[in-house]
Structures are given as C-alpha cells and as structure tokens.
Structure 1
C-alpha cells in the first residue's frame, strides 16, 4: 500500500532560560512538512510575531534558536501517525488552546504548559519544564 500522507515530522525542542531561572527550560514544537517548517510556542508577551494569537506564536524565532542562555536542542521527534495527530493539534491550537490569552511564569500557564497541552499523554516534559503540570492541576479542554 502506498502512503498518500505527506511526510510530517514534529520535533520537541528546549533551551535554558536566562537569568534567575537558568535551571528552567523553555520548550517549543516544530511542525515540518515537505518544503516548510514552523516553530510553535507560547511567549510571555502577546503579539510579538507576525503570526500570533494572544501569547501563542508561530515563527517568532528561527526554528532552532535558543532563548538567551545557550543553544536550543532537539529532545524528541515524532513521525507517522503520531506526527500527523500532533501536527493537527498544534496547528488547531489558535482555536483550541485554553490559555491563549494568559501567561504566568509560575505556576503557569506558560510556554511549557502549551507544549505539555499539545503533547497530551504522548510525552511528559521533565522537571525543568516549569509550568508543565499546570495542565494537570487546571484541566481545561476547550476555550470558553
């Protein structure tokens, strides 16, 4: 059987945060399709990129750029069915991410809250992903 789905990959990236929170990491997702790739993340300031919805940004920074305390690094890559499902969830986030208009460094919602929300149960961010647990403690599944 021929796979008619275009090849899609979703990558999870992280970089250390500068300043007092230098032990914490900022996470983001890259959705790659043949000929294109987009970086998706929540940022502390809304409307910082040409394509943004509240605190959610698409292509605010270069795909693999760090956030001020060293380079970014890829943590995981999904392909196949998992990547297709993740890509759809990420690309539909402007309509579905419940905390798009809210940002708090601690306990969240923040950049790591968004990434953990997008990944759902497929992957759990590590302890440096401060704000990841906000999804579990403040479960909201759709925007109100």
Structure 2
C-alpha cells in the first residue's frame, strides 16, 4: 500500500510539473539539457539546476541562461562606497549633483545620470528617512528610482 501511495504521489508531482510551467529556470541544467520537451527532461534540468547550486552565480553574473534584474545593485564596491560616503552622498542627493552621486550612478550602471539625480533629489526624504538610516537601506531606496 505504501509503494502504491508513493508511486501515485510521484506520478502526480511529475505530471503536474509538466502542466504548471515548462520553464525550469536558469542554471547549469538549462544549459546542458537543451531539449526540455518532456517531463523527464524538465525534471532532470530542474534537478541539475537545484543540485549544482549555481543559479545564484548565474543570476548575479548574467550567465547560464540567467539575466540580472534591471535594478541589480548588490555589489561589493557599491556597498563599500555608500557605507564609506553616507554623509557626502546625502549632500549630493539633496543638491541633485556631485561627485559622490555620479560615482554611485556609475557603480549602479545608470545610463541617464541627470534624470537619475533629479529623481533622487525629489525623493531625498524617502531615501534618507532618518538620521539612523543604514547604507543598505539607502542603496535599496536608491535602486527603486533607477
């Protein structure tokens, strides 16, 4: 009886995955297993993606059939720069211009820095919501206006 129940659950899980979404995600499995037209191949691709542990690398680097989010702002240089220059950045954002603000725009791969600076200036009170705001909160707030 146990075997029958386990078999039924396994078949249901496999068949529902075929109807739910044929996209198994990005990662090594999506690169190695090109033909994912069957449930078995989709499960194999998803398992390879899950067990190889490389989706985080693929997403952050834009490789392995992954793409970076549009407002990707999670890099060490940006985090360190903002943490080291919180006061200068606050002054630049409030003025809508400055060397520190330009550097942040470059680190965040902003194409139109003048529009970006104007958006940040008009939202200064949201970015620096309190005197005790952290650099990670500032980065997250800035990323909203990219």
TM-score under structure 2 normalisation?
A: 0.28
Larger relative contact order (CA 8 Å, sep ≥ 6): 1
TM-score under structure 1 normalisation?
A: 0.29
